[in-house]
Amino acid sequence: MKKIISIMLILLVGLTIFSGCSSNKIQENNLDLNSNQNNQVIENLSEKEQAKEFSLKIVKTYFDNDCNQYVSYLDDKIYDLMNNEKLLLSKEQLKVIDENSCFLKDIVNNGYSFQDYLNSYEIIIMDKNEYQLKHPGSKLLNSFNSENSYLFIGLELKDKNSEDFISTGYFRFIVKKENGIWKLTHLSI
């Protein structure tokens, strides 16, 4: 019964959040970590730094309301972060949704920029070993499917007295590098 309710909730949330934002393109001067141009830049970064940069590209799509770019970052199979179960909506199913409809506008309160986010929130990247040291026995450890997986946590305010202007779920996810390409694999729903 719990499983059926969870599936229905995910469907309901999916239908609700995929409504009404127009997609804007990321400015041409921003780099796409999956392009050949960026692979040259990335080679000078540690894998953990690459994961951080890629994760910030994902977060930037929220502020740019760039649904197409966001979907391009998704892995072919997308999992729930906490229980490591495959989500009902795959990347291919997301592409079928009207390209002018998207959930990204609902993630942040209007009026805030990506730079406001960077100024206000701590950015944490952890691999499985780092996470296990801080949270031994956590259920989330099962979501690290490879040694190239990194958890992004970007929802802790630098100043606890500042306004919290984000919807927290989408600021915690796992990315992984496979065959030289970074992908978003696990979402917090």
Nearest to 184 by CA among 93, 31, 55, 22: 55
Instruction: Assign 67 a pLDDT band (cuts: 50, 70, 90).
Output: confident
List, in sequence order, the alpha helices (H) in 34-164. 36-42, 47-64, 67-73, 91-96, 114-120, 128-134
- Give 176's strand partners: 149, 183
Kindly state the average pLDDT of the residues 25-31.
35
List the CATH number of the domain containing 145: 3.10.450
Q: Is residue 139 part of a domain?
A: yes
Structural domain of 104:
2-20+47-187
pLDDT digits (tens, 9 = 90+) for 114-150: 999 999 999 999 998 898 888 887 877 777 777 889 9
What is the average pLDDT across 6-12?
34
The answer as to whether 64 is a domain residue is yes
Q: Does residue 36 lie in a domain region?
A: no
Q: How many domains are there within the chain?
A: 1
The answer to whether residue 40 scores a pLDDT higher than 90 is: no
**99 is a domain residue:** yes
Over the chain, what is the mean pLDDT?
73
Whether 33 maps to a domain, the answer reads no
DSSP letter for 171, please: G
Specify which residues 152 forms β-bridges with: 125, 173
The model carries a pTM of: 0.74
Domain membership of residue 41 (yes or no) is no
CA neighbor of 166 nearest in space, from 12, 50, 60: 60
Residue 57 covered by a domain = yes
Q: What pLDDT, on a 0 to 100 scale, did the predictor assign at position 48?
A: 95
